[in-house]
Structure 1
């Protein structure tokens, strides 16, 4: 067998995956020797290697997860030590030292009086928990009709049936309907798609916040339990909002006795230069949901963090929150999270993001000279490039063009050119970038160059 044949032959992992692995959020038709499932074999820092020996820049931190970078042996060693001492025990009426210490650590890091931590194994479970808490909270307070949730159009909040009912993506939900009742949508803060507010994001923020109150009043304030929003909205492409938007939503929630939930599954743990992004954007919610970067990927873990106001009725005699997860607060993951928080503090990763976020944005904005690039937006280490068919009119792509660009061309072309990132069309067509927080200007430049060449090729397909 020649060297070329060796490099293109299926690895055992690729062959096994092609026959037996049911992939997440992925098409499985047509996977064969000519189109194998990519196999990632190792990572180091901001780079990944596949089973063909190629080095790929991780422009998405795995899935907005690997804040501290790949191959951090100190985190793996902490996890191994904890597994040797106590690999598992639940927090169903018990605890373990890592779970108790992490709960205390997160309570100290969270803003305001968010002092009680409910562990899950991921972000969707954290959202599910927040909705359940909101429902029971109002029942315990004698307001049993308050059960509905207001969220934003195009926003993604998870795949469990409850979390999906809060998600604002019709195409993701249609195959699983009917879902849990009670989810309602309001406009998001996509300035690019609201050109009437060009140059005045504060006006967009006021307008969008007013729609939240309008929805609460339309549904009846006595039926609405929570408003769920991300500090920077993921789906739709890193949609930001002025601080005044969050301040106004906070006022509206207080006025109508509605819980404000900050969904920080992606946004927390340094992605925006703060442990919790709500602090950066100037608001204190009643509940925070978080996951992903808490362990930098060295163990699965999520959490819902509640304020003193929310926990108070649950502390009454005889009250139980009848909800939980087998893997919530897993001691190995909790130990990894504690070590990860130590590492992030020791290496100043939050400060690194704040120092480099403008340079990251400025580097990506160089792509605005391309005819296919309509907008570049984001914050911290979380950016999106919106692709358009016509820059003057901001026309987006039709179904066939989306199929060619987002499903068929961009993922493979970017990966083959040495960049792992996220082409997405849940909403308008975007490419998202969220590298490990250890990335710097060298990596920003590499991303821009790979994107430039790939998007130039993409334009020929339009």
Structure 2
């Protein structure tokens, strides 16, 4: 243990998705405490947590009840696997999730995170079609710019070439279609319903091009994260559901971010009125107080795995961990007791309206999203929607906006996966006070960024 924690962090803690060289001569930001919608660094400075950690801390920081649940469960049964065995917290949580899930999604396969849940869904889809006599169906379709995780399969499904390039070759058979960014729609940009039909039909086009007898699944987020919170146009998911049914292709709703209140429902598919064949989820299930994820599967898809001595030869040591499952159950109790989903539905228009005020800034091209999940796209020219160059992203987005938002007390995400955006997803306990605080900090920093641009 050294006295200079920042130097120790640089020397020993390999931070994720981080340019480690940037901390060679600069202090590593170190967060030591959270309370409600706020976090505090090692100097005592307070920040609004505008990203819920990483779209995770939905019930807010500092919930003693969740910590007490974890301690109590660890004292009773700290660990046991669910490899041919069960334990009460995993049983109860599986039942709870099945009760929340739409349609016949009643089977819950636990993981320790979202990427593992996506990996599980693809493997399960492949084996399902082998069991029902269609072994050629193994390919998957997902959307351009979409992020689905870091495991080899999930990374193949991800539609961000720069994230994939260092690790290629990846798992073959993952194909991409256009996303639902209507702000930059190639056509029908002034007609959301027509654009939704166009975007959904690109999925059918890809299925037909690859051959329906080779395509196993389509992976879609209710609101796409990467690129800056793309909501679905009207009718989009209904059309996708029709296409998947027509060609016997499974629809996977990747809700690692969108589940557990982020859009005002336990599952985002409910917000947009569709029933998938599988849901992948994680993050907000415990509000981050302990890691867990899940792939929730329809009875129809699970059926052949429950017959004739079949099994799904797949699993994780810490999947369905007793402590994490117990924490999830208490977290979901909090959701119900405090009406957090209803709160999001009541407050989402106010949140959106507050962020929309930033449209008077010349650097703000679009504000979009749903629930407590919004993206602000930055542009050089509002009339032409001209975006930043790579040099401008480096200098303005990372060199100024990201650093200054944090320096001014707002933790959120400034990113250029797709076009330059700032993303906001605060804890679900946030209200108008936090919306106004975020808007004021954003206004100040983005005004300065425009002057530098």
Please give the TM-score of this superposition, normalised by the length of structure 1. 0.97
Partner of 1:278: 269
Aligned partner of 2:6 among 6, 14, 19 = 14
Partner of 1:289: 280
Cα shift readout 1:201-233 (whole Å, capped 9, x = no counterpart): 111100001100000000000000000000000
The Cα of 1:408 is off from its aligned counterpart by 2.0
5+ residue gaps, structure 2: none
The Cα of 1:19 is off from its aligned counterpart by 1.0
The Cα of 1:372 is off from its aligned counterpart by 0.5
The Cα of 1:395 is off from its aligned counterpart by 0.5
Do the aligned partners of 1:65 and 1:293 also contact (CA within 8 Å) in 2? yes
Do the aligned partners of 1:243 and 1:282 also contact (CA within 8 Å) in 2? no
Partner of 2:390: 399
The Cα of 1:391 is off from its aligned counterpart by 0.6
Residues 190 and 435 (structure 1), Cα distance of their counterparts in 2 relative to 1, 3 Å cut: same
- Cα distance in 1 for partners of 2:13, 2:270 equals 40
The Cα of 1:410 is off from its aligned counterpart by 1.9
Cα shift readout 1:402-451 (whole Å, capped 9, x = no counterpart): 11123222222111100000001000000000000000000000000000
Aligned partner of 1:25 among 11, 14, 17 = 17
Partner of 1:426: 417
Do the aligned partners of 1:404 and 1:461 also contact (CA within 8 Å) in 2? no
SS of residue in 1 equivalent to 2:291? coil
Partner of 1:176: 167
SS of residue in 2 equivalent to 1:127? helix
Do the aligned partners of 1:123 and 1:292 also contact (CA within 8 Å) in 2? yes
The Cα of 1:195 is off from its aligned counterpart by 6.4
Aligned partner of 1:435 among 423, 426, 437 = 426
> Is 1:246 paired with 2:237?
yes
> Is 1:389 paired with 2:380?
yes
1:111-260 equivalences under 5 Å are 111-194=102-185, 196-260=187-251
Partner of 1:360: 351
SS of residue in 2 equivalent to 1:41? strand
Aligned partner of 2:47 among 22, 47, 56 = 56
- Cα distance in 1 for partners of 2:448, 2:188 equals 32
Partner of 1:416: 407
SS of residue in 1 equivalent to 2:375? strand
> Is 1:109 paired with 2:100?
yes
> Is 1:75 paired with 2:27?
no
Do the aligned partners of 2:192 and 2:234 also contact (CA within 8 Å) in 1? no
SS of residue in 2 equivalent to 1:131? helix
Do the aligned partners of 1:11 and 1:51 also contact (CA within 8 Å) in 2? no
The Cα of 1:243 is off from its aligned counterpart by 4.0
SS of residue in 2 equivalent to 1:112? coil
Cα shift readout 1:100-127 (whole Å, capped 9, x = no counterpart): 0000000011000000000000000000
The Cα of 1:200 is off from its aligned counterpart by 1.4
- Cα distance in 2 for partners of 1:89, 1:436 equals 31
Partner of 2:308: 317
SS of residue in 1 equivalent to 2:288? coil
The Cα of 1:35 is off from its aligned counterpart by 1.5
1:333-352 equivalences under 5 Å are 333-352=324-343
The Cα of 1:457 is off from its aligned counterpart by 1.2
5+ residue gaps, structure 1: 1-9
